[in-house]
Amino acid sequence: MTRLTRDDIVAGAGRRFARYGYHGTSMRDLGEDLGILGSSIYSHVGGKQELLVAVVERGAAFFEESSRDALNTGTDPIDTLARLIAGHVDVLLDHRSEARTYLTEVSSLDEDERRKIIAARDSYEDVFVGTIRSAIDAGIVRDDVDPRLGAIYVLSVLNAVERWYREDGRVSRSEVASDIHEFVCRGLYGNDTEA
């Protein structure tokens, strides 16, 4: 029976929040997962809301880091978009609990923290918008695409991945990423394109 660290508690909270939601999780439930009493959690953390903040901020940081990497290493708009997509899928599947909680429990955050997270989410979305806009300017993406709507569509497809992807399935995560990239670029019709 080893002793737990604050990180253990936050990780456990993430798993619970992701599966049952913030309001569907009690401190005693969480303690049981961790093998301690609910009250013992307060040796590590100020309260339940503080746990949610910690989980959500971890999730936000993963996405932010991913988009920064894509912007730094992308050679052109479409390459950047491919990196954004692959990075998003990786974050989603490498950090499922934090990612899911980040995506679904924003409304359970207290006012101030919620504003911060919404701002972070908006600026992450802006990276997609800017990349698509650049691709339009470069003549790669058709010019009747609204960059903002396009970004929303791409992120909609991406965020849903976590809900249907099975780790033990016969399709790897990099295949998922490239399949999504192909879908959002070529669509269902997918006539040949020179890009």
Partner DNA sequence: TGTCTCCCAACGAACGTTCGTTTGTTACCA
Partner DNA sequence: TGGTAACAAACGAACGTTCGTTGGGAGACA
Choose among DNA, a second copy, none what residue 170 binds, the Cβ cut-off being 5 to 8 Å by kind.
none
21, 33, 40, 74: residue in contact with DNA (rule CB under 7 A): 40
Helix axes 6-20, 96-104, angle to 10 degrees: 60
Choose among a second copy, DNA, none what residue 48 binds, the Cβ cut-off being 5 to 8 Å by kind.
DNA
39, 73, 123, 174: residue in contact with DNA (rule CB under 7 A): 39
CB of 7 to DNA, least distance (A): 11
144 sits in the region (left: phi over 0; alpha: psi -120 to 50; else beta) called alpha
44 binds DNA per the rule CB under 7 A: yes
**Of 27 and 86, which CB lies nearer to DNA in the complex structure?**
27
Q: Give the interface with a second copy as residue ranges (CB under 8 A).
A: 19-21, 23-24, 104, 107-108, 132, 135, 140-142, 144-146, 149-150, 152-153, 155-157, 159-160, 164, 179-180, 183-193, 195
Selected range binding DNA among 21-29, 76-84, 140-148, 163-171, rule: CB under 7 A: 21-29
| Residues 144 and 175: beta-carbon distance below 8 Å | no
Rounded to an integer, what distance in angstroms lies between the CA atom of residue 2 and that of residue 68?
Answer: 37
Q: Which of 24, 113, 31, 97 shows the shortest CA–CA distance to 62?
A: 97
27 binds DNA per the rule CB under 7 A: yes
* Residue located via tokens 């950090």: 95
Alpha helices in the chain (DSSP H): 6-20, 27-34, 48-73, 77-94, 96-104, 111-137, 147-164, 173-186
114 contact partners, CB below 8 Å, separation of at least 6? 106, 107
CB of 31 to DNA, least distance (A): 6
List interacting residues with DNA (CB under 7 A): 2-4, 25-29, 31, 35-40, 42-44, 46-49
